Structure 1
Amino acid sequence: MVAAHVGIMPLKSSTFPSLPCVPRLRFTKRRPFAIAAMSDDPIGEWILSEGKATKITRISPVGGGCINVARRYDTDAGSFFVKTNRGIGPSMFEGEALGLGAMYETGTIRVPKPFKVGSLPTGGSYIIMEFIEFGPSRGSQSVLGRKLAEMHTAGKTEKGFGFDVDNTIGSTPQINTWTSDWIEFYGEHRLGYQLKLAVDQYGDSTIYQKGQRLVKNMAPLFDNIVIEPCLLHGDLWSGNISSDKNGEPVILDPACYYGHNEAEFGMSWCAGFGGSFYTGYFEVMPKQPGFEKRRDLYLLYHYLNHYNLFGSSYRSSAMSIIDDYLRMLNV
Structure 2
Amino acid sequence: MKPGCATTRARWSDGAGKRSLTENHLPENIRRFPARCPPAPDPVAGRLRFRGIRAAEGLIFEPDLMRFSDLRLAELFRSHGEVVDCRPVAGGCISDAWRVQVRLVARIDGPVHGANPPGFVDETSGQSTVSPAAVERAFLVKTKTAAFLEPYQREVEGLRALAAVGAVRVPEPIQVRSIGDRAYLVTEWIESAEPNSGNGAFFETFGRRLAALHRLSVGRRIGSDSDNFLGASRQINRPSDSWEDFVAQNRLGIQIRWATDSGKADVTLRRDVDRVIESLGDLLHGRAEETCLLHGDLWSGNYLRDLDGQPVIFDPASYHGCREAEFGMLLLFGGCPAEFFRGYEEEWPLPSGWRRRAEIYKLYHLLNHLNLFGEGYLSACRRSVGNVLAGV
Matches within 5 A, 1:159-308: 160-202=221-263, 204-267=266-329, 268-308=331-371
Residue 120 of structure 1 aligns with which residue? Answer: 179
Residue 72 of structure 1 aligns with which residue? Answer: 99
Residue 33 of structure 1 aligns with which residue? Answer: none
Q: What is the identity, as a one-letter code, of the residue corresponding to 2:353?
A: G
Q: Provide the rounded CA distance (Å) in 2 between the counterparts of 1:325 and 1:56.
A: 51
**Structure 2: gaps of 5 or more residues:** 1-15, 17-45, 56-69, 105-136
Give 1:64 deviation, angstroms. Answer: 5.8
After TM superposition, which residue ranges in structure 1, 4 or more long, deviate above 6 angstroms? none
Q: Cα RMSD between the aligned structures?
A: 2.6
Which sits farther off after the overlay, 256-265 or 74-83?
74-83
Q: Provide the rounded CA distance (Å) in 1 between the counterparts of 2:94 and 2:285.
A: 41
Which sits farther off after the overlay, 57-66 or 260-269?
57-66
Q: Determine whether 1:86 maps to 2:148.
A: no
Q: Provide the rounded CA distance (Å) in 2 between the counterparts of 1:10 and 1:241.
A: 16
Residue 56 of structure 1 aligns with which residue? Answer: 83
- Contact 2:287-2:354 within 8 A present in 1 as well: no
Deviations 1:171-218 (A, max 9, x none): 211101111211111111111111111211116232122211211112
Q: What is the identity, as a one-letter code, of the residue corresponding to 2:160?
A: G
Residue 120 of structure 2 aligns with which residue? Answer: none
SS at 1:91 equivalent = helix
TM-score, normalised with respect to structure 1 = 0.81
Give 1:317 deviation, angstroms. Answer: 2.4
Matching residue within 376, 379, 382 for 1:313? 376
Give 1:167 deviation, angstroms. Answer: 1.3
Q: What is the identity, as a one-letter code, of the residue corresponding to 2:183?
A: S
Q: Provide the rounded CA distance (Å) in 1 between the counterparts of 2:193 and 2:88.
A: 19
Residue 28 of structure 1 aligns with which residue? Answer: none
Residue 157 of structure 2 aligns with which residue? Answer: 98
- Contact 1:110-1:250 within 8 A present in 2 as well: yes
Give 1:270 deviation, angstroms. Answer: 1.8
Which sits farther off after the overlay, 162-171 or 193-202?
162-171
Deviations 1:45-74 (A, max 9, x none): 56443xxx4433223332565531212221
Q: Provide the rounded CA distance (Å) in 2 between the counterparts of 1:155 and 1:4.
A: 31
Which sits farther off after the overlay, 224-233 or 88-97?
224-233
Q: Provide the rounded CA distance (Å) in 2 between the counterparts of 1:174 and 1:10.
A: 31
SS at 1:109 equivalent = coil
Higher relative contact order, chain-length normalized (CA < 8 Å, sep 6+): 1
Which is higher, the Rg of structure 1 or of structure 2? 2
Q: Provide the rounded CA distance (Å) in 2 between the counterparts of 1:46 and 1:85.
A: 14
- Contact 1:117-1:125 within 8 A present in 2 as well: yes
- Contact 2:95-2:142 within 8 A present in 1 as well: yes
Give 1:221 deviation, angstroms. Answer: 2.9
Q: Provide the rounded CA distance (Å) in 1 between the counterparts of 2:52 and 2:301.
A: 11
- Contact 2:356-2:391 within 8 A present in 1 as well: no
Distance 1:260 1:9, change over 3 A: farther
SS at 1:133 equivalent = coil
Q: Provide the rounded CA distance (Å) in 2 between the counterparts of 1:265 and 1:292.
A: 8
- Contact 1:73-1:81 within 8 A present in 2 as well: yes
SS at 1:279 equivalent = helix
Residue 109 of structure 2 aligns with which residue? Answer: none
Q: Provide the rounded CA distance (Å) in 1 between the counterparts of 2:224 and 2:207.
A: 23
**Structure 1: gaps of 5 or more residues:** 12-39
Count of residue pairs brought into register by the alignment = 296
Q: Determine whether 1:153 maps to 2:215.
A: yes
Q: Provide the rounded CA distance (Å) in 1 between the counterparts of 2:53 and 2:186.
A: 13
Give 1:319 deviation, angstroms. Answer: 1.8
- Contact 1:4-1:64 within 8 A present in 2 as well: no
Deviations 1:237-282 (A, max 9, x none): 1111211111111111122111111111112122112211111001
Matching residue within 192, 208, 211 for 1:134? 192
Q: Provide the rounded CA distance (Å) in 2 between the counterparts of 1:217 and 1:66.
A: 34
